[in-house]
Amino acid sequence: MKKTARKSGKEGRIVNVSSEAHRNPYPEGIRFDKINDQAGYSSFRAYGQSKLANILHANELARRLKEEGADITANSLHPGAIVTNLFRYYSIINGLVNVLGRAVLKNVQQGAATTCYVALHPQVKGVTGEYFSDCNLSKPRPQGQDVEMAKKLWDFSMDLTK
């Protein structure tokens, strides 16, 4: 991406799809010391942790790209509550989503709008390290703005992938 942005003279954009579920991770945010702890596992909290990680990753990537002078932005977003098969393993919830959700949740096209906006809209040119919702800037929970946690997640991830 760096090479393409440099050669083309066009800004590259990286978009991490997160969720408002990032507001419900484990209390410590990312459980670095208990990443595979089965005893304290909660699917709800683990999902929140993963969505918090999406935001922190985009923020740290944005910081690093900016530091390098790369013409690439990195942002994260909440696409909205969308009618999907996310709850397919929870039959009662899935049934409610399929019946009632169609009246109050976004369809797939509406859910894609913020992703397309952040990836393509001229108003977002040069905007980096931000969180969006409904095609607007939004604020993640304080842990989603934690620079030290973002750096720690980056280093932790790099160690895991060695």
Residues identified as active-site: 41
- Under 8 Å CB-to-CB from 148, ≥6 apart: which residues? none
Q: Specify the DSSP element, H or E, that contains 16.
A: strand 12-17
Q: Which of 46, 30, 50, 48 is nearest to 38 (CA)?
A: 46
DSSP state string for 68-135: HT-SEEEEEEE---B-SSTTTTSHHHHHHIIIIIHHHSB-HHHHHHHHHHHHH-GGGTT--S-EEETT
Q: Specify the DSSP element, H or E, that contains 63.
A: helix 43-68
